Amino acid sequence: MAATTTVTTPALPIAGAGAPPTAAAWQTAFEAALPYREFLERHATPDQRSRWDAFHKQVSLTPAQQTLLGGFVRRMPVLVLAGAWCGDCVSQCPIFDHFAAASPAADGARLIDVRFLDRDARPDIAAHLKVCGGQRVPVAMFLSEDFTPILFYGDRTLSAYRAAAMAELGESCSSGAVPQRADAIAAVTADWLDQFERVQLILRLSGRLRQLHGN
pLDDT digits (tens, 9 = 90+) for 90-143: 999 999 999 999 999 988 899 999 999 999 999 999 999 999 999 999 999 999
Residue 203: its pLDDT value, please? 98
pLDDT level of residue 4 (50, 70, 90 thresholds): low
% of the chain beyond a pLDDT of 70: 88
> CA 205 → CA 83, 180, 211, 213, 215, distances in Å?
33, 36, 10, 11, 9
% of the chain beyond a pLDDT of 90: 78
pLDDT over 50 (residue 173): no
For the chain, what are the domain ranges?
A: 23-206
User: Which of 38, 33, 18 has the alpha carbon at shortest distance from 81?
Assistant: 33
Residue 164: its pLDDT value, please? 84
Residue 3: its pLDDT value, please? 60
Residue 149 has phi, psi (to 5 degrees) of -60, 135
State the greatest distance between any 2 C-alpha atoms of the chain, in Å, as a whole number. 83
Residue 106: its pLDDT value, please? 86
Beta partners for 154? 139
pLDDT over 60 (residue 175): no
**Burial letters for 111-126: b for 16+ Cβ neighbours within 10 Å, e otherwise?**
bbbbbbbbbebbeebb
Residue 165: its pLDDT value, please? 82
Q: Mean pLDDT across the stretch 8-12?
A: 70
Model confidence over 12-36: pLDDT tens digits?
A: 777 766 678 999 999 999 999 999 9
pLDDT level of residue 181 (50, 70, 90 thresholds): confident
Please answer whether residues 79 and 30 qualify as being in contact, where contact means their C-beta atoms are separated by less than 8 angstroms: yes
Radius of gyration of the chain (CA): 20
Please answer whether residues 48 and 84 qualify as being in contact, where contact means their C-beta atoms are separated by less than 8 angstroms: yes
Residue 59: its pLDDT value, please? 97
Residue 73: its pLDDT value, please? 96
What is the CA 87 to chain-centroid distance, rounded? Answer: 16
55 vs 168, residue with greater confidence = 55
Q: Mean pLDDT across the stretch 39-53?
A: 98
Long-range contacts of the stretch 198-206 (C-beta < 8 A, 24+): 198/151, 199/76, 199/142, 199/150, 199/151, 200/72, 200/73, 200/74, 200/76, 202/150, 202/151, 203/74, 203/76, 203/144, 203/145, 203/150, 204/73, 204/74, 206/144
- The four Cα atoms 93, 68, 191, 89 give a dihedral, to 10 degrees, of 0
Residue 172: its pLDDT value, please? 44
Q: Mean pLDDT across the stretch 67-83?
A: 97
Residue 56 has phi, psi (to 5 degrees) of -55, -40
Residue 16: its pLDDT value, please? 65
Superfamily of domain covering 23-206: Glutaredoxin (3.40.30.10)
